[in-house]
Chains A and B, each alone.
Chain A
């Protein structure tokens, strides 16, 4: 919303030394956020009134004239001009050198200099309206027509901003900060806040009494829950003409466009007091009666731009005795618009409820200046302000006008909120004891009525705040605090209590997991959206039968909410392959599936949520990345201090290769899997010329240890003997078999490498082990060492068919 400072000054006398910047600051801290402060005279700098003293032909150009012009300086100046309507004695608009103009009303503004045009000196230029932001003030028939100020009281040299009332400051206010304040959607409301902030009186708006002997204009309200009041005023002898310059300026600075005097008056009143108005052409309201009703089935309204609105029975319309003539609170139809042949009007000043307007507006995707205000929920008494101000302006602009009928149907009256605010409540919650005088003064400035009795403020909120904004004592407390300025309350320290000491093992575990993966294992953490492209879900062969879906997804392919993080991970892999060959990523996030789960209350049933931890390693060597990933999971439990994990091979994940995968078990339950991503899944995910190893674990199933639990083993008292052992076994002998066979015979067993190829017979593989042997009670002598080694080799031979490999 735009707020004009000149307009505000009609309602309050601001302290003299106040700068617009200070006003913006105070409004921002106490009432609404001012986003910008603009000086509207800026663009009229060095643009002045000139009086043409003499018009001469240009010696070198037929279409140009030389104008000797008085611009209020010591001597008249010579200006070359191509205007079609130049004459001696004409008062014109002159852009002096240094002024900025928009050539022919198009493009960026350019700075005027002293120049020679076809050999003749020109001191600036004589302008048409569109070149110097005067279109609205002086509408021109064509672009060659320069502005003729013949009807304007002005003298040479006067700045044009003065002439068109544009010496003003405009505050740009963030509409979001106004959503709960219907009273601030007009200048009078903002003026009231400023009057309270600076403690200056707010001028009362003139009240026009309606002649009780006027004939009644008939108004029927069929939906009093949607339309709480409707005033219709029939006025004759009004017609289409230009508004005065002062009114145009305020309308422009208030953020709207001047159109014609009648429409401008309705907009002016709305911008002044926030009450929307609408004028219908009187002759087209059939039956001399307004009916406010729900639309009939199939009813339509033709608009001024020839578009058609198709109503539903839920829409509230303004109708004459036959047909709808307007969509209530949003816009009028074509038939009853104010057009050049208009001679009289029916003026609507009405109150429609917020929900009605919002619902209809949303359906037609229509927001108008009127509907924005109605949506904020306005009080019904504001209609009176609208009626008085509009009648006053109509009388002022159309001396010959006459009110011929008046109707006021008023089924629902806004009630002022009555609230008791105990003194003690204010003392504690404000954290500061304020005097009764201070509190009463602040509240009265804001329009409250206050009575103090038995340590309680009995407060009646102003009607313009009583439509939901102010309803409880906390609202009143808030008003006092904000008006005094939050800065004026000393911050009170919080106390620390020892029973607040916090240790949350599940929270700590999640952090350890992330840090383990990132810092120890070299993974980068990613976040992806919960809605997943169906392409990747299908690629991972994930069953969507139980998937939760969005009603209005970001796009049709993104309707499915994830039940696994793998598809999102695949998408991330395929994107990053453009820039990297080898990388590791992980994500922790919730996944969803249909089901019944009560998080807080039995009445609320939510889908099943699980928190998954998923990661991947990308690289060409499939075997290498698989073992790397296995290593990450093997060490996860001990590094992150949680219940041990073990592996089985039972259930193939949908995205995994048919051979290379394992399931992860915690406390006898499968809690996830890891393995190589299948060729099919990679192909469908556009992952080419590389391999991906993925793990996905249900991290809800992890059991954090309450503290570190690494076991301590006494250091060996007698030295161990280290030996490397290279054996040949059949291909199908597993490491698990080998390790089981000799585990009890060694103190320590480590796998070094597996090798197939040159020098190894077909069907065999070589395995290198590093072992340590020793006695518990003595140092091993060479005989014992030999015996022990021979024994180990024999066992390996018996149980695994292993032979010692000779170099």
Chain B
């Protein structure tokens, strides 16, 4: 009997060893541990034996069954571990499925980055219409009556209004600043707001000049403010947009609607301020004009300049985008050319 059991064990382990799939293994399990297995037969034939012998054989049989179960489990794990999802190998170098995603215009993206930064500082977003009157585009902003920008050559005046004046002479706005007075007339002070938008100038176009381009202007109006507060604002915004500390300097600049006025330069990001072609070898890039709102502008907005003061900055969005990506032709922004736009995913 003992020999028989040993033979069953040896034979059984061999069968387990030889099984190569889960289904084969299931068959083997049935043969070795099922009701019709050899082991069951052995147990059924115990009746003729003594109690002691029965006991001994019974223990031995259970032992063998447990060995089978362990081995079956081991083999099953082995087969599962080596099992593959695909029957055939695939080319892992084939490109993945394309995500069908469009793009926001790079100008819009920059504008939204700035919005996020300004909104976090409690600024409101305001927008003015594209067409404005001379009153809002020039008179309110302290432009001298004979300022060259008022002439036909520089600004796009509307047909039929070009020979009129002030409220009746209409144009595609040449800058955003007129919107500042509109906002202040509507909401009063204190105020902090940004007003992005497109402006228009009658110019010859080339890789550096456009007739329509985007600006982003911000204004704070408050009491007892010093001009240097504006510098904090600029620094904060540039840091948020470029994601790191940016060196900024303010220098003398002249614009009719500010006094004093500044040109604001940032450290050239291309060379890190050492001097390169992009910054004309001086390490600084002119990025935005700014300044303290002129008392005459405050008066146009119905505010007392002895009580209120404020600070403007005006960012040229094209310039910032061109810096960000190294774009070298400003005309691309209005080209609607998808070969260009599709790059800004």
- Which chain A residues have a beta carbon within 8 Å of chain B's beta carbons? 28-33, 35-36, 177, 179-181, 354-355, 358-359, 362, 428-432, 468, 472, 474-475, 477-479, 481-482, 486-487, 489-494, 496-497, 500-502, 504, 507, 511, 514-515, 517-519, 521-530, 548-554, 559, 561, 568, 571-572, 575-576, 579-580, 583-585, 589-590, 592, 599-601, 603-607, 609
Given contacts A487-B250, A548-B158, contact A493 B229 (CB under 8 A): yes
Q: Could you give 8 example pairs across A and B, Cβ below 8 Å?
A: A429-B292, A468-B144, A478-B292, A493-B232, A500-B122, A514-B104, A590-B129, A600-B136
Q: How many residues of B contact A (CB 8 A)?
A: 89
B260 lies within 8 A of A474 (CB) = yes
Q: Using Cβ atoms and an 8 Å threshold, which residues of chain A touch B105? A: 525-527
B294 lies within 8 A of A552 (CB) = no
Q: In the complex, what's the smallest C-beta–C-beta distance from B228 to chain A, in angstroms?
A: 4
B338 lies within 8 A of A580 (CB) = yes
B121 lies within 8 A of A491 (CB) = no
Mark B126-162 against chain A: 1 for CB-CB distance below 8 A, else 0.
Answer: 0011111101100000001110100111001111111
Q: Using Cβ atoms and an 8 Å threshold, which residues of chain B touch A29? A: 249, 251-252
Q: Using Cβ atoms and an 8 Å threshold, which residues of chain B touch A359? A: 146
Interface-located stretch among B44-52, B80-88, B95-103: B95-103
Q: Using Cβ atoms and an 8 Å threshold, which residues of chain A touch B124? A: 502, 504
Given contacts A428-B226, A501-B122, A583-B338, contact A522 B100 (CB under 8 A): yes
| Further contacts, 19 of them, CB under 8 A, given A177-B252, A502-B123, A519-B102 | A33-B253, A33-B263, A354-B146, A429-B226, A432-B226, A494-B232, A524-B103, A527-B105, A551-B158, A551-B160, A553-B156, A554-B202, A559-B159, A575-B337, A580-B338, A592-B131, A600-B186, A606-B133, A606-B170
Query: Max chain B CB contacts within 10 Å: which of A496, A504, A600?
Result: A600
B158-205 with Cβ < 8 A to chain A: 158-162, 167-168, 170, 172, 181-182, 185-186, 192, 198, 200, 202
Given contacts A472-B259, A518-B103, A524-B341, contact A30 B144 (CB under 8 A): no
Q: In the complex, what's the smallest C-beta–C-beta distance from B324 to chain A, in angstroms?
A: 17
Q: Using Cβ atoms and an 8 Å threshold, which residues of chain B touch A514? A: 104, 108
The chain B residue with its CB closest to the CB of A507 is B125
Within 8 Å of chain A (Cβ to Cβ): is B68?
no
Within 8 Å of chain A (Cβ to Cβ): is B211?
yes
The chain A residue with its CB closest to the CB of B261 is A478
- Which chain B residues have a beta carbon within 8 Å of chain A's beta carbons? 100-105, 107-108, 112, 115, 119, 121-125, 128-133, 135-136, 144-146, 148, 151-153, 156-162, 167-168, 170, 172, 181-182, 185-186, 192, 198, 200, 202, 211-212, 220, 224-229, 231-233, 235, 249-254, 259-263, 280, 292, 294-295, 305, 309, 333-339, 341-342
B157 CB contact (under 8 Å) in A489, A527, A552: A552
Q: CA A257 – CA B126 in complex, angstroms? A: 52
The chain A residue with its CB closest to the CB of B286 is A33
The chain A residue with its CB closest to the CB of B309 is A429
Given contacts A362-B153, A474-B292, A526-B341, contact A548 B131 (CB under 8 A): yes
Q: In the complex, what's the smallest C-beta–C-beta distance from A237 to chain B, in angstroms?
A: 42
A177 lies within 8 A of B254 (CB) = yes
Q: Using Cβ atoms and an 8 Å threshold, which residues of chain A touch B211? A: 529, 554
Q: CA A524 – CA B338 in complex, angstroms? A: 7
Q: In the complex, what's the smallest C-beta–C-beta distance from B312 to chain A, in angstroms?
A: 14
B170 lies within 8 A of A530 (CB) = no
Q: In the complex, what's the smallest C-beta–C-beta distance from B41 to chain A, in angstroms?
A: 47
Given contacts A474-B260, A528-B336, contact A599 B182 (CB under 8 A): yes
Q: In the complex, what's the smallest C-beta–C-beta distance from A43 to chain B, in angstroms?
A: 19
Given contacts A29-B251, A429-B309, A583-B338, contact A525 B104 (CB under 8 A): yes
Q: CA A32 – CA B251 in complex, angstroms? A: 9
A529 CB contact (under 8 Å) in B212, B226, B253: B212
A579 lies within 8 A of B130 (CB) = no
Q: Using Cβ atoms and an 8 Å threshold, which residues of chain A touch B235? A: 491
Given contacts A524-B103, A529-B212, A592-B131, contact A551 B220 (CB under 8 A): no
B107 lies within 8 A of A527 (CB) = yes
Q: Using Cβ atoms and an 8 Å threshold, which residues of chain A touch B337? A: 575-576
Q: In the complex, what's the smallest C-beta–C-beta distance from B155 to chain A, in angstroms?
A: 9
A530 lies within 8 A of B172 (CB) = yes
Q: Using Cβ atoms and an 8 Å threshold, which residues of chain A touch B122? A: 496-497, 500-502
- Enumerate the 10 nearest inter-chain pairs by beta-carbon distance, A residue then B residue, closest first: A431-B226, A478-B260, A500-B122, A572-B336, A551-B162, A549-B159, A526-B336, A486-B250, A518-B102, A474-B259
B339 lies within 8 A of A579 (CB) = yes
Q: Using Cβ atoms and an 8 Å threshold, which residues of chain A touch B131? A: 548, 592, 606-607, 609
Q: In the complex, what's the smallest C-beta–C-beta distance from A112 to chain B, in angstroms?
A: 28
Q: Using Cβ atoms and an 8 Å threshold, which residues of chain A touch B101? A: 518-519, 522
Q: In the complex, what's the smallest C-beta–C-beta distance from A353 to chain B, in angstroms?
A: 9
Given contacts A177-B254, A482-B260, A576-B337, contact A489 B146 (CB under 8 A): no
Q: Using Cβ atoms and an 8 Å threshold, which residues of chain B touch A515? A: 104
B172 CB contact (under 8 Å) in A500, A518, A527, A550: A550
Q: CA A553 – CA B171 in complex, angstroms? A: 12
Q: Using Cβ atoms and an 8 Å threshold, which residues of chain A touch B100? A: 522
Q: Using Cβ atoms and an 8 Å threshold, which residues of chain B touch A552? A: 152-153, 156-157, 162, 202
Q: In the complex, what's the smallest C-beta–C-beta distance from B164 to chain A, in angstroms?
A: 11
A481 lies within 8 A of B227 (CB) = yes
A604 lies within 8 A of B259 (CB) = no
Given contacts A474-B292, A554-B211, contact A599 B129 (CB under 8 A): yes
Q: Using Cβ atoms and an 8 Å threshold, which residues of chain B touch A524? A: 102-103, 338, 341-342
B128 CB contact (under 8 Å) in A354, A554, A599: A599
Q: CA A500 – CA B123 in complex, angstroms? A: 7
A358 lies within 8 A of B148 (CB) = yes
Q: Using Cβ atoms and an 8 Å threshold, which residues of chain B touch A523? A: 102
Q: Using Cβ atoms and an 8 Å threshold, which residues of chain B touch A572? A: 336
Given contacts A491-B229, A590-B129, A606-B133, contact A472 B295 (CB under 8 A): yes
The chain B residue with its CB closest to the CB of A25 is B282
Q: CA A199 – CA B246 in complex, angstroms? A: 32
Q: CA A555 – CA B334 in complex, angstroms? A: 17
Q: CA A502 – CA B158 in complex, angstroms? A: 36
A529 lies within 8 A of B334 (CB) = yes
Q: CA A662 – CA B11 in complex, angstroms? A: 79
B341 lies within 8 A of A525 (CB) = yes
Q: In the complex, what's the smallest C-beta–C-beta distance from B139 to chain A, in angstroms?
A: 11
B167 CB contact (under 8 Å) in A501, A521, A559, A604: A604
The chain A residue with its CB closest to the CB of B252 is A482
The chain B residue with its CB closest to the CB of A358 is B146
Q: CA A473 – CA B173 in complex, angstroms? A: 30
Q: In the complex, what's the smallest C-beta–C-beta distance from B23 to chain A, in angstroms?
A: 32
Q: CA A571 – CA B220 in complex, angstroms? A: 41
A551 lies within 8 A of B159 (CB) = yes
Q: In the complex, what's the smallest C-beta–C-beta distance from A721 to chain B, in angstroms?
A: 32
Q: CA A462 – CA B119 in complex, angstroms? A: 44
A550 lies within 8 A of B167 (CB) = no
The chain B residue with its CB closest to the CB of A518 is B102
Q: CA A579 – CA B335 in complex, angstroms? A: 14
Q: Using Cβ atoms and an 8 Å threshold, which residues of chain A touch B151? A: 362
Q: CA A116 – CA B211 in complex, angstroms? A: 58
A494 lies within 8 A of B342 (CB) = no
A609 lies within 8 A of B157 (CB) = no
Q: Using Cβ atoms and an 8 Å threshold, which residues of chain A touch B251? A: 28-30, 33, 486
A489 CB contact (under 8 Å) in B108, B136, B152, B227: B227
Q: CA A359 – CA B145 in complex, angstroms? A: 12
B263 lies within 8 A of A478 (CB) = no
B253 CB contact (under 8 Å) in A36, A177, A432, A507: A177
A180 lies within 8 A of B229 (CB) = no
A492 lies within 8 A of B232 (CB) = yes
Q: Using Cβ atoms and an 8 Å threshold, which residues of chain B touch A606? A: 129, 131-133, 170
Q: CA A30 – CA B211 in complex, angstroms? A: 31
B224 lies within 8 A of A585 (CB) = no
The chain B residue with its CB closest to the CB of A550 is B156
Q: Using Cβ atoms and an 8 Å threshold, which residues of chain B touch A518? A: 101-104
Q: CA A486 – CA B200 in complex, angstroms? A: 31
